[in-house]
Amino acid sequence: MFPEPPTPGLPAPDTPPDSSRLSHGPVPPWALATIVLVSALLIFSCCFCLYRKRCRRRMGKKSQAQAQVHLQEVKELGRSYIDKVQPEVEELEPAPSGPGQQVAEKHELGRLQYSLDYDFQSGQLLVGILQAEGLAALDLGGSSDPYVRVYLLPDKRRRYETKVHRQTLNPHFGENFAFKVPYVELGGRVLVMAVYDFDRFSRNDAIGEVRVPMSSVDLGRPVLAWRELQAAPREEQEKLGDICFSLRYVPTAGKLTVIVLEAKNLKKMDVGGLSDPYVKVHLLQGGKKVRKKKTTIKKNTLNPYYNEAFSFEVPCDQVQKVQVELTVLDYDKLGKNEAIGRVAVGAAAGGAGLRHWADMLANPRRPIAQWHSLRPPDRVRPPPAP
């Protein structure tokens, strides 16, 4: 029998598959390019990730090494400052004086040239501060920033000051001052010419002084004289109180933290015998206040407790150029807030201020706490001579 013919439109059941339908033919060029590009991107990504990891390891090691270098530099800087710290005048015990020592003190302090004349028509004593030479060096660099304060005892309120002369032991002043005093009263006066070393961030130190009893001067003619400086008598300062704060410096982060802890025995500023004290913390650079922070106000107390922290960004290369100034003020709701006293610490400070700063630098990352006696707020002074 003959096989049945296949149904039209349907393949025969025993017909072998068409091989042309299974073959894909040649691959298009764009597909090859895509495959190559994707492979290249995968290889590049893997290589880049490995490179970044390697660079991070290197940078981490480098930053750690730099941090260790900064840490060591700051420690050495602190130790060098500690070696230069000089005690405050109040901390020095008076040495027994003798004739030989008095002569030595005269030569160490220097001498001053001045002029005197009396104008009988106007009733004025004319005082000329001409120059000084061989002055004592009170700054760490072996120099001083001298100026002269002139007044007639017993009146200390009416006084004059010369300009400040920077970094010299032989200043030329060339300034004249006039005191209106009747001639009949002049014999009971004493002319004082006191030479000071100016310090922008600390208390100005007395180098020495010349005292001239006017009863011993013949004012019938002008006087021109040199006199050796004598040690100035120590003035009894008013007690303003003490403040305790800590300093902490982290060289790797360039962060300076000041923690105002407490104050005690503050001066009474209010009528009721108390004060409302708060503390302003200034960061100074080049003598200018660049940052300011302040504590809360403590009401009706002379022994406030704060324990408040303030942080400043100070890179390692700037730590020798900044100072921190703390000022205690009495808050007044109706009037002006009045300053009680201040403290300055830094590389340019002296005595306790420099010692505290040096201890902080010599012990990075550790808070160093210390008590400081408040100093009177600075009076307005003539600008330093260029």
At the topology level, CATH places domain 107-228 in Immunoglobulin-like (2.60.40)
Locate the domains of the chain by residue range: 107-228, 242-373
pLDDT in tens, 258-286: 999 999 999 888 767 788 999 999 999 88
Q: Output the CA torsion sign for 373, 376, 380, 381.
A: negative
Q: Output the CA torsion sign for 347, 351, 282, 79.
A: positive
Q: Judge whether 130 and 351 are in contact, CB under 8 Å.
A: no
pLDDT in tens, 305-321: 999 999 999 998 888 88
Q: Give 378's pLDDT tier (boundaries 50, 70, 90).
A: low
Which residue has tokens 């020495």?
208
Q: pTM for the full model?
A: 0.49
Q: Judge whether 275 and 301 are in contact, CB under 8 Å.
A: yes
Judged against a pLDDT cut of 80, whether residue 327 lies above it is answered with yes
Q: Judge whether 370 and 363 are in contact, CB under 8 Å.
A: no
Q: Which of 196-210, 265-279, 281-295 has the lowest mean pLDDT?
A: 196-210
Judged against a pLDDT cut of 90, whether residue 296 lies above it is answered with yes
pLDDT, residue 288, reads 86
Comparing 158 with 119, which gets the higher pLDDT?
119
Q: Is 123 helix (H, G, I), strand (E, B) or coil?
A: coil
Q: Which of 32-41, 77-86, 202-211, 336-345 has the lowest mean pLDDT?
A: 77-86
Q: What is the DSSP letter of 165?
A: B
Nearest to 120 by CA among 190, 189, 191, 183: 183
Q: How many Å from the N-terminal Cα to the C-terminal Cα in the chain?
A: 133
CATH code reported for the domain at 242-373 = 2.60.40.150
Query: How far are the Cα atoms of 237, 241, 274, 275, 291 from residue 265, in angstroms, in the given order?
Result: 15, 5, 10, 11, 28
pLDDT in tens, 57-82: 655 554 444 545 456 666 666 566 55
Q: Give 41's pLDDT tier (boundaries 50, 70, 90).
A: confident
198's tokens? 């100016």
Nearest to 89 by CA among 141, 138, 144: 138
Most confident of 55-59, 74-78, 199-203, 243-247: 243-247
Domains 107-228 and 242-373 share a fold: yes
Cα separation, 229 vs 148, whole angstroms: 12
Comparing 357 with 59, which gets the higher pLDDT?
357
Query: How far are the Cα atoms of 164, 165, 196, 297, 311 from residue 347, in angstroms, in the given order?
Result: 21, 21, 20, 30, 18
The angle subtended at Cα 131 by Cα 111 and Cα 385, nearest 5°, is 125
